[in-house]
Amino acid sequence: MIIRIMGEGQFELPDDSAEGLNALDAQVESAVESGDDDAFAAAFAQLLERVRAHGAAIADDALVDSDLVLPPSDATVDEVARLLGDEGLIPG
Amino acid sequence: MSMMKRMGMIFRSKANKALDRAEDPRETLDYSYTKQRELLVKVRRGVADVATSRKRVELQATQLQQQGDKLHEQAQKALAAGREDLAREALTRRSALQQQIADLQTQHANLQAEEEKLTLASQRLQAKVEAFRTKKETLKASYTAAEAQTRIGEAFSGISEEMSDVGLAVERAEDKTAQMQARAGAVDELIASGALEDVTASPNSDIDRELAALSAGSDVDNELAALKQQLGTGERQALEGGATPGTAAGAPVEEPERQPEKGTGA
């Protein structure tokens, strides 16, 4: 499973690590929906940390697309909501 | 649905749309490569822009620091002259400056972090663009059947994702530097107009002027003392010489009036 953290690069994670990620992902998701800054910051930081800790960085010159994508580590809850809501926000 | 999955889908749909637009996937490869080169230029320009902003903030912090040092000196002078009120005023202004310097230091740290992020993004993109160029040539040379389309699609979506990521990073960096440049512009104007001293000054006193007056006062005292000393020496010289210009000039005027009295008296 390949996960991109925007602004940091791609990480390869063993498929069985998805379990722990899903719970945190769900917390982030509901925090984004309710616009809860604190809950978002806490869950998002843990999610990023887990991906970095369990993942191996993919070489810069590898051309592979990711299964999952995470927003930049300094993104706010509003920014993530906009990233998800409006496709036009992501360039390309 | 999961946030990570939704984000991933948004990226993939971007790549697919771009790929679907071209009739011949090989055209897409060349077109995408051009876009990649353009984005690389843009990221490098972004790094340079952030660096410029960082240097500007550095310069401002140095200028404010010098202003703060000057106020500290003024406080010392004022205290030496027994003017605790002025010293207090100088230190109060200095502490207002310290807050602005701290704010600039925070901005500086943010810009530095942004610069590092963009530099790394530029390196990653550079590596991927190089890999894409090699792959593109191989794919074009061996392009024979529909099966190759799949491989083109893979290479394309791999780089397309990176480009979306880097593109957003550049936009975010631009937003951040634009905000900071607006603030930096305001500080520059303050420094240039000298208004900073007025802004942080209390309305009722101007340390510079009062200290100047103080030192002017002591200059006057010194000059007076020097003059007195000269005058003292001059008087002695006059006594030793028998006459001073003042008495020499005054004597002939008085003499004719006295002379007849003396003459009649004698």
Predicted confidence pLDDT, tens digits, chain A (92 residues): 999 999 999 999 998 887 788 889 999 999 999 999 999 999 999 999 999 999 999 999 999 989 999 999 999 999 998 888 755 555 65
Under 8 Å between Cβ of A32 and A9: no
Residue partners of A83: CB distance under 8 A and separation at least 6: A71, A75, A89, A90, B7, B10
DSSP helix/strand/coil, A76: coil
Q: What is the pLDDT of residue A71?
A: 94
Q: What is the pLDDT of residue B235?
A: 56
Q: Which amino acid is at B180?
A: M
Distance CA B44, CA B2 (A): 34
Under 8 Å between Cβ of B128 and B158: yes
Cβ contact, residue pair B2, A87, below 8 Å? no
Q: In the sheet where A56-57 sits, what is the strand order?
A: A56-57, A9-12, A2-5, A68-70
Q: What is the pLDDT of residue A34?
A: 92
Q: What is the pLDDT of residue A7?
A: 93
Q: How do strand A56-57 and strand A9-12 relate by DSSP bridges?
A: antiparallel
Bridge partners of A5? A9, A70
Q: What is the pLDDT of residue B116?
A: 94
Q: What is the pLDDT of residue B108?
A: 93
Structure tokens at B23: 């009739």
Q: What is the pLDDT of residue A9?
A: 94
- Please list the rounded mean pLDDT of every run of 10 residues in chain B (266 residues): 84 79 75 91 93 92 90 88 87 88 92 93 94 87 67 80 90 85 76 52 57 70 80 62 48 48 45
Cβ contact, residue pair A6, B117, below 8 Å? no
B122-179: pLDDT as tens digits: 999 999 999 999 988 888 777 665 666 777 777 787 888 899 899 988 888 888 888 8
Only one residue has tokens 């077109």, namely B31
* Exposure string over B3-20, b if 16+ CB within 10 A, otherwise e: bbebbbbbbbebbeebbe
Q: Which amino acid is at B54?
A: R
Long-range contacts of A20-27 (CB under 8 A, 24+ apart): A20/A50, A21/A47, A21/A50, A21/A51, A21/B4, A22/B2, A24/A50, A25/B2, A25/B3, A25/B4, A26/B2
Distance CA B196, CA B14 (A): 50
Under 8 Å between Cβ of B156 and B32: yes
Residue partners of B133: CB distance under 8 A and separation at least 6: B33
A90 contact B CB<8A:
yes
Distance from CA of A55 to the nearest CA of B (A): 15
Q: Which residues of B touch A70 (CB under 8 A)?
A: 3-4, 7
| Nearest-by-Cβ selection for A61 from B15, B128, B160 | B128
